[in-house]
Structure 1
Amino acid sequence: MPNHQAHAVDPHALPETITRYLKAHEAHDTATALTAFTSDATVTDDGRTYQGATAIGQWLNRSATEFTYTIELTDARRTDSTRYVATHHLEGNFPGGRVDLRYQFTLRNELIERLVIEP
């Protein structure tokens, strides 16, 4: 994979698809969050990969209820025309209590094709 230089962007300038997903995920609105993904999308979170709408919907429902936490968007970057990274600071009742997570988005046809969430 080529090494792309990421450029900071205003969080309000993130593509609508990413913003829709982030807002819906924070509001625990699985149906709206799923509209941001391609039908064959993959999500990798906590070392596990989920593929397709059914698996991603189950992941969204589980992640919405597993822990209670606050989330704050602290940084947004654009790597290229289809890749963005949104960094979030989370605090809550999960192991460790605090973490900064990078949500790495790859878009296809203005929808999320791939999402990798990692520290």
Structure 2
Amino acid sequence: MTSIAGLPEFLLYLGAAAGLTGLYLTVYTLATAHNEVALIRRDVTAASVALGGSLIGFTLPLAVAIYNAGSVLDCLVWGLVALVVQIAVYWLVRLVLPDLSRRIEDDRMAAACLLGAASVAGGVLNAASMTY
């Protein structure tokens, strides 16, 4: 039975990660000036690309936080750091493209790709910084 001895810890970290991801998606969609879910339901590809890149950019450092965490509390703290970094990435891209949300709503892929790529890049740098 040692093969499943770590199951309780696995479930604890998985639950924490799922909760943090749900929190991230809630905070992110409230922070943006456009409604990603409504746009995706209308088949606006740009919204899906931007949100997908952001989700990857958040979960990369979250995975590193889980790997390096000394406790679930440690994981939660670093997961919240990852959340803050991703929201900051969104606002930085909005400084470059003030009409970012309008472009995404209009399904303009250049803006969505830039936001998605910036989100992934921010997540990679965030994850690498967590390898303390």
User: TM-score interval w.r.t. the shorter chain?
Assistant: under 0.3
Higher helix proportion: 2
TM normalised by structure 2 equals 0.25
Q: Which has the higher contact order (CA 8 A, sep 6+)?
A: 2
TM-score by structure 1 length?
0.27
Structure having the higher strand fraction is 1
Task: Select the structure of larger CA radius of gyration.
Answer: 2
